A and B are shown apart, each in its own frame.
Chain A
């Protein structure tokens, strides 16, 4: 096969791989090509996925519906405002169009006095919780413990979560005020999180389905009781 995706006379309106044409004509290809592309796009970062919109008209909107979003402010150099705005408008669009987001990954620089970012983060997670997000990765790129911010309590209200990773946040009493029962959460990872033993214990007792537990460099945590985690 010389080239993958060509664009004339293709079934179903999407033509990605030209070599697929014969394949397209032999089986019911409606949706198949898009399925393959979506799978490839799944493995791209948000930046790479959005850039595919420039390839051709049929590619223009393929990235728009992928069920995983992956943002990092590293890709925006010093333009924090633009980063916040891109994440915000993207999430808003998913909400407006009632699209699904299964996985959301965010790496962002947050500092104590950065009220705008912190309140946006809370808003985004609330939206994601409403959309039934399954996998959530939140990472603060701020290195020094003294500047960590509190993890928004809404994280622990997102009952649909199956996989949660939190890096460089404070996980205090406020964060678990309205903690839900996480029936589906099978994987939890805390890295450089400020958390006390009793808070950890409360979380664990609400996540009894955990199969994988990873705790890294959480200095204040001295005692990890896992006897209630029967699936570990």
Chain B
């Protein structure tokens, strides 16, 4: 381990589309999933991450490097996370939340979940369905009944042209 030898250890991570990435062990072990693999002795070879694609993994590694370079200052870490996520579109955020969950990175998971929640605010039901790829399996009558039951939640919400 890096702390024992004094030389930084580098890990090789492999995405599910076979891209390889080198990353400092000290940054990579922000992921509990990776940390467990390292502790189980996988660090010598390539660490396969079967549920993350190359594009998302590249982004997660940028985050790992960025956040681990910040000393223990929660304010600065938070502002780094906010900036990191500020230019991500919904699809990227969706990929990130899945990756963060799989990699077991609770801080990233919370930051991305909060960002998704923020994007969802006041959005129409149709918008959320489209973005999340949710198939509406209610009959029109059932949907009207659920809406009626929670009528108060629809005040001030964007409306759908196609809904």
Contacts and interface: CB of A to CB of B under 8 A. Distances in A.
Interface of A: 1-8, 16-20, 23, 26-27, 32, 35-36, 39-45, 47-48, 50-60, 75-77, 79, 82, 86
Contacts of B156: 75
Interface stretch (B6-14, B39-47, B59-67, B115-123): B115-123
Nearest to A52: B128
A48 B153 CA distance: 7
Interface string B110-136: 100110111011100100111111111
Contacts of B143: 54
B27 to A, nearest CB: 23
B157 A51 contact: yes
B94 A44 contact: no
Contact of B110 (A26, A39, A57): A39
A86 to B, nearest CB: 7
User: How big is the B interface, by class?
Assistant: 35 or more
A47 B51 CA distance: 33
27 contacts: A1-B95, A1-B98, A2-B133, A3-B132, A4-B131, A5-B134, A6-B134, A7-B134, A16-B134, A36-B113, A39-B97, A39-B101, A39-B109, A40-B116, A43-B117, A45-B121, A47-B152, A48-B122, A50-B153, A51-B150, A54-B143, A54-B146, A55-B129, A55-B132, A56-B129, A56-B137, A56-B138
Nearest to A35: B101
A44 B51 CA distance: 27
A7 B101 contact: no
B97 A40 contact: yes
A40 B117 contact: yes
Pairs A-B, 9 closest by C-beta atoms: A3-B133, A43-B117, A4-B94, A51-B153, A18-B133, A43-B114, A39-B113, A5-B132, A7-B135
Nearest to A83: B152
A27 B132 CA distance: 21
Given A36-B101, A50-B153, 7 more contacts: A1-B94, A36-B97, A40-B120, A51-B153, A51-B157, A54-B138, A75-B155
Contact of A4 (B110, B122, B132, B152): B132
A106 B27 CA distance: 39
B153 A32 contact: no
B156 to A, nearest CB: 8
A35 to B, nearest CB: 7
